[in-house]
Amino acid sequence: MPSRVPSFPFFLAFLVVTAATLFPSSSSQQPPAAAAVPQPRGFYISCGSDRDVQVGSIKWAKDEGFTAVGNASAINKPHLLPVLATLRYFPDATARKYCYQLPVVKGTRYLVRTTYYYGGFDGGKEPPVFDQIVDGTLWSAVNTTDNYRRGMSTYFEMVAQGQGRTMSVCLARHPDTKSSPFISSLEVIDLADYMYNTTDFGRFAMSTVARSRFGSKGEIVSYPDDPYNRYWAPFADANPMVESHSSISPDDFWNQPPAKALKAGVTTSRGKKLTVQWPTTELPAATYYVALYFQDSRTASPFSWRVFDVAVNGKDFFRGLNASAAGVMVYSSMMQLSGKTEILLTPNETSPVGPLINAGEIYQIVPLGGRTATRDVVAMEDLAASLKNLPPDWAGDPCLPQQHSWTGVECSQGSPMRVLSLDLKNHGLSGSLPDSIANLTGVKTIYLSGNNLSGPIPDLSSMHTLTAVRLDSNQFSGTIKPSMEKLVDLKELYLNYNNLTGKIPDGLKNKAGLDLRTEGNKFE
């Protein structure tokens, strides 16, 4: 069973409109119309809302069309921001997961942010604990209890790549889940191709641990200062703080941090080492992506320089760094860390001023939870679109995570995973079987007896591993395809009690070892 990534929840004090620093509510907090920054590309979903809502400069869409399961609930508390005033919860304990699905571009990187505010929607005193999943990867546990007790909402972030034509963000119960999982808002934001591009997103995702602007107090910096709506939290310690006097261009930095996140920093006097304990939380032993941003706070001059070595937990990170007025970023894409993290900046002997640091990002590297064969994913999505009254967990990856596969779906081990069996007998299904079901070439058994399925039976001759097909007690019509004779391993074919016509192919009637049932039809 895949393990959960240790969660790094973030709290936000933006419950009431007057305290909203991330969602500006007054015109004084907006940029002038002529300089307005376009809304970051992507999806901003207000879960459980029955209408689109505007918060500051961002328009949040209602979640209709992104999920087909769960119930909406309003939070009965005064002065809540619109995106926290509703949520969607999922009371069906039989479902293995509950998914939102969003169209994406394969190979594009996205910032995924989930936000939770419990609000006692179910009459309880504590929020439930549950899991969250992105595509087939078990991301983390969602435990918002401590933040809720403090009157805060909680958010989680991940940077992930589109693996196909859709991305699924799902919630799932685990043994400690005592009531209905819920979600307040969901964001999936397009990132530029050059951002975080040293990570192999075909194998990994990155879960946000911290993103900080040093030497700062007060508000979190986000959109419109950050065109990708990343949250840059203030960080200050006992070190002296300094403000920049130089013009800062985000385009000069890899990952394009906003200029406002670099306008301050922490420093020390000439000749002294600068020690920063960051992030403030202890880290579990794992692999991390670390990016550190530096910018000389002095007015640019050809005669000024600020040179120092950078070490993290006693190991060289970068030697001879020259933090110019234009700025510089250094990073490690696969760094082993655990426990407390210490950044040590040691000045060059000739440097006329002490070292400084302006901002930092750290992400835990998350191995992807495997991969389901693309042809199987597409075929299963086509099947789901062709059937009605499906189990509520028929969304997201059909096979992954393994303990949260679709109801009635059995899959292989290894990568890529293949669908091996479909078993939805007596589920009250209606609709028809699409021709693309034949692309499930790893399937051995299909059990769809006792439903209300109609239309023709597709050509299944490409499904060479089929051993049993039970379609009895439905409303299928048309003829039996003669190509069914090609299924050499077929041992069971139950077609009884349908509306089939024509002739039964001789190759099926005379096939040795085949249990063929055809009564209750209109065969010649």
Tokens representing 498?
Answer: 């349908």
Of 95, 104, 106, 179, which Cα lies nearest the Cα of 145?
Answer: 179
Helix (H, G, I), strand (E, B) or coil at 509: helix
**Quick one: pLDDT at residue 374?**
92
Q: Say if residue 182 is in the same domain as residue 89.
A: yes
Q: Say if residue 46 is in the same domain as residue 179.
A: yes
CATH number for the domain harbouring residue 322: 2.60.120.430
H helices present in 141-292, as ranges: 145-149
Tell me what the pLDDT averaged over the chain comes to.
90
Q: What's the rounded mean pLDDT across residues 258-273?
A: 93
Helix (H, G, I), strand (E, B) or coil at 467: coil
Q: Say if residue 422 is in the same domain as residue 344.
A: no
Q: How far apart are CA 61 and CA 177, in angstroms?
A: 28
Distance from CA of residue 300 to its chain's centroid? 41
CB atoms within 10 A of CB 158: 23
Q: Say if residue 145 is in the same domain as residue 220.
A: no
What's the pTM value of the predicted model, to 2 decimals? 0.89
**Quick one: pLDDT at residue 250?**
80
CATH number for the domain harbouring residue 92: 2.60.120.260
Q: Is residue 23 part of a domain?
A: no
Q: Say if residue 363 is in the same domain as residue 378.
A: no
Q: Is residue 35 part of a domain?
A: no
Q: How far apart are CA 519 and CA 178, in angstroms?
A: 48
Each residue of 88-134: pLDDT tens digit? 999 999 999 999 999 999 999 999 999 999 999 999 999 999 999 99
Each residue of 219-249: pLDDT tens digit? 899 999 999 999 999 999 999 999 988 778 8
Phi-psi region for residue 513, left (φ > 0), alpha (ψ -120 to 50) or beta? Answer: left
In the predicted model, is pLDDT for residue 2 greater than 60? no
Q: Say if residue 216 is in the same domain as residue 333.
A: yes
Q: Is the peptide bond before 91 cis (omega within 30 degrees of 0)?
A: no
Distance from CA of residue 479 to its chain's centroid? 44
Q: Say if residue 236 is in the same domain as residue 161.
A: no
In the predicted model, is pLDDT for residue 57 greater than 90? no
Tokens representing 392?
Answer: 């509520």
Q: Say if residue 176 is in the same domain as residue 215.
A: no
Domain stop point among 301, 335, 367: 367
Q: Say if residue 510 is in the same domain as residue 379.
A: yes
How many angstroms separate the most distant Cα atoms in the chain?
Answer: 98
Each residue of 438-468: pLDDT tens digit? 999 999 999 999 999 999 999 999 999 999 9
Q: Is residue 344 part of a domain?
A: yes
Q: Is residue 49 part of a domain?
A: yes
- The residue range of the domain holding 255 is 207-367
Q: Say if residue 318 is in the same domain as residue 412.
A: no
Q: Is the peptide bond before 279 cis (omega within 30 degrees of 0)?
A: yes
Q: Is residue 1 part of a domain?
A: no
Q: Is residue 126 part of a domain?
A: yes
Domain stop point among 163, 191, 219: 191
Tokens representing 86?
Answer: 């509703």
Domain stop point among 325, 351, 367: 367
**Quick one: pLDDT at residue 351?**
84
Q: Is residue 9 part of a domain?
A: no
Q: Say if residue 213 is in the same domain as residue 182.
A: no
Q: Say if residue 276 is in the same domain as residue 249.
A: yes
The structural domain count of the chain equals: 3
Q: Are strands 185-190 and 264-267 parallel, antiparallel or unpaired?
A: unpaired
Each residue of 391-419: pLDDT tens digit? 999 999 999 999 999 999 999 998 899 99
Q: Is residue 17 part of a domain?
A: no
